[in-house]
Amino acid sequence: MKILMKIALVFVVLVPYFSQAQLISELEGIEPGFYELILPGTDRRYTIVVPEGYSPGDSVPLVLSLHYGGSVTPFYGRGLLENLIEPALRGLGAILVAPDSAAGDWSNPEAEQHVLQLLTHVMRVYNIDEQKTLVTGYSMGGRGTWYLASRNQDYFRAALPIAGLPESNSGSIDWQIPIYVIHGAQDQVLALKPNQLVVQELQSRDSPVQLVVLDGVGHYEIPRYQEHLAAAVPWIRESWGE
């Protein structure tokens, strides 16, 4: 009898755990909202936003958001989504996904592998229009945007680095996808000049790139970029062929 009671107690403890895991799995890809999840089979965290009106029967765009630097606390990428990416790009009706960097920064092969694994998973769970994908990011994520977009031009249909730093070879790459650069004129962390030089070099070769310079905006004023990112929505749609 004592043995049976112990077994019953173990069962009672375990049921809520598995029910919660099942609940998260069922919610993913169905209801609109913000979700903090773990990529299956790994310990890598990501935040995902399912837009209002999402239906698995209709394909939707996908936006990858790369967070800024700093101490990567759990679901660190959510901050950039909430303060900039989601309100600015809400009109796209896109799935937004923001991984937490587990590789130091975004500009290395390990981070690239992590991102592509995550996006492959997201595309399995959600009905994504593969012709409508965008990579964007802020500061460290801006540099990561230059890096990942240049190496995966068959994956992303547009790139939008914000307050970032181009890679040393960004100006010599044969860009087949359009790039929209947003940078503050008074950025006290990552200077505007490298962005200007790369954009000028690419424009001299008729590459599809443009630069928007924000007067009076410093590096740490993320919410002030929101209206300027929202102003890029028509460009994004045009890049997707809408």
Please tell me the predicted confidence (pLDDT) of residue 9.
31
**Average pLDDT estimate for 178-205:** 97
Please tell me the predicted confidence (pLDDT) of residue 16.
30
Residue type at 99 in one-letter notation: P
Best CA proximity match to 183, nearest among 197, 168, 203: 197
Q: Could you give the angle at the alpha carbon of 126 between the alpha carbons of 123 and 132, nearest 5°? A: 65
The answer on pLDDT for 17 being more than 50 is no
Please tell me the predicted confidence (pLDDT) of residue 134.
98
Q: What is the pTM of this model?
A: 0.88
- pLDDT confidence band for 30 (50 / 70 / 90): low
Encode pLDDT of 137-151 as tens digits: 999 999 999 999 999
Best CA proximity match to 31, nearest among 52, 60, 47: 52
> Do 233 and 93 form a contact (C-beta atoms < 8 A)?
no
Encode pLDDT of 99-120 as tens digits: 999 999 999 999 999 999 999 9
Best CA proximity match to 182, nearest among 137, 220, 140: 137
Please tell me the predicted confidence (pLDDT) of residue 201.
97
The answer on pLDDT for 175 being more than 70 is yes
